Amino acid sequence: MTAIQHAPAIRRISAGRRAKDKIVHGLVYLSFAIAVVPLLSVLWLVLSNGFARLNMEFLTHSMRNVGARDAGGGAYHAIIGTLEQVLLASVISIPIGLLTAIYLVEYGRGGRLSRAISFFVDVMTGIPSVVSGLFILAFWILALGMPFSGFAGALALSILMMPTVVRSAEEMLLLVPNDLREASYALGVPKWRTIVKVVLPTAFTGIVTGVMLAIARVAGETAPLLLTVFFTDSINTDPFNGPQMGLPLYVFDQSARPTDVAIDRAWAGALTLILIVMLLNLVARLIGWWRSPARR
């Protein structure tokens, strides 16, 4: 049979493939729209309710000597607490998570110990946030007698943050081509130096993105802070001594008060938390772009 005789069948097959392709594209766009609608609705709700109360007074004043029905007050003490607690949690979890990922990918691949570590990382990924708070409450505060503090909250947040850092860094390290490692070994470069000078810079952008995902996850956690940090209306810049407020706790506390001014402060606190997370993500993207190998 000639090509001319095959032409109708070929056209029918091509038309069927184009139709299937359009259907799949339509389903993908529909799924994207369904996923985006709740996100946009939440953002719009927080913006519309919190923008009016978000001002310099709110960002520079605490709730000290401010009653539940008073119109003043702000979340400065909670902003300081959240930034310090998240920073301490990052200092604890990022080095441990990154070193664990390096071991799993570069040294212990396929070993019994690496399989055990991967299993416990998977278990930690599914741990509810309140469990981490209960663990720090039972061990750090009740058993060791340490006080309620921002550092105790940071310990609870680091437990939640660590498995996300491990998994994201592990995936990024696995994406680094083995040819780069072998080329470095062929030049006589030791393995540890290859990891530091070749592997980590190549995966740097993805690692930073994963770290920011972990930070965004723990920045809004309330349950661990309820059990480890406690409440305060005053500014406490020392995370190692005494109760220290956080933005999630601030939103929880203000939303539980039956006054309109308190509800407005809760919406403004939620908006502030979203803006902080967005700003951190923007900074991470800029750092990743600045350090990306493609730019050099």
Do 174 and 35 fall into the same domain? Answer: no
295 pLDDT exceeds 60?
A: no
Q: How far apart are CA 71 and CA 261, in angstroms?
A: 6
pLDDT tens, 104-163? 998 877 778 888 988 899 888 888 889 999 999 999 999 988 888 999 999 999 999 999
Same domain, 69 and 18: no
- Which of 50, 65, 86 represents a domain boundary (last residue)? 50
Same domain, 42 and 137: no
pLDDT band at 2 (very low <50, low <70, confident <90, very high): low
pLDDT beyond 90 at 202? no
117 and 18 in one domain? Answer: no
Both 110 and 34 in a single domain? no
Q: What is the mean pLDDT of residues 51-60?
A: 86
Reply yes or no on whether the pLDDT at 62 is more than 90: no
pLDDT at 86 over 90: yes
Going from the C-alpha of 76 to that of each of 54, 63, 80, 267, the distances in angstroms are: 12, 8, 6, 15
What is the structure's pLDDT at 158? 93
Residue 296: what pLDDT?
55
For the stretch 216-252, pLDDT in tens is 888 888 889 988 998 888 888 889 988 899 899 999 9
Number of domains in the chain: 2
User: Does residue 4 register a pLDDT over 70?
Assistant: no
Do 89 and 216 sit in the same domain of this protein?
yes
pLDDT score of 134: 92
What is the rounded CA–CA span in Å between residue 256 and residue 81?
20
d(CA 207, CA 94): 10
**What pLDDT is attached to residue 6?**
53
Q: Give the 3-state secondary structure of 162-192.
A: HHHHHHHHHHHHHCCCHHHHHHHHHCCCCHH
**Enclosing domain of residue 22:** 3-50
- pLDDT tens for each residue of 170-199: 999 998 888 888 888 888 888 889 998 889
The whole-number pLDDT of residue 98 equals 93
The pLDDT, as a whole number, for residue 22 is 84
* CATH code: domain of residue 145: 1.10.3720.10
- Work out the mean pLDDT of the chain and round it to a whole number: 86
- Among 34, 50, 66, identify where a domain stops: 50
* 91 plus 28 within the same structural domain: no
Phi-psi region of 145 (alpha: psi -120 to 50; beta: other; left: phi over 0): left
pLDDT score, position 99: 93
Q: How far is CA 112 from CA 106, 109, 173, in A?
A: 14, 9, 20
Mean of the pLDDT values across residues 252-265? Answer: 86
Q: Please determine, for residue 1, whether its predicted confidence score (pLDDT) is greater than 70.
A: no
In this structure, the answer to whether residues 158 and 62 fall within a common structural domain is: yes
**Is it the case that residue 7 has pLDDT exceeding 60?**
no
* % of the chain with per-residue pLDDT over 90: 26
pLDDT at position 230, please?
A: 84
Q: Are residues 10 and 75 in the same domain?
A: no
C-alpha to C-alpha distance for 163 and 169, rounded to whole angstroms: 10
Whether residues 22 and 162 fall in one domain: no
- Position 10 scores a pLDDT of 55
Q: Are residues 97 and 12 in the same domain?
A: no
266 and 248 fall within a common domain: yes
Burial class (CB in 10 A: 0-12, 13-18, 19+), 206: middle
Cβ-based burial of 179 (10 A; exposed 0-12, middle 13-18, buried ≥19): exposed
Q: How far is CA 69 from the centre of its chain?
A: 34
Mean pLDDT of 67-85: 85
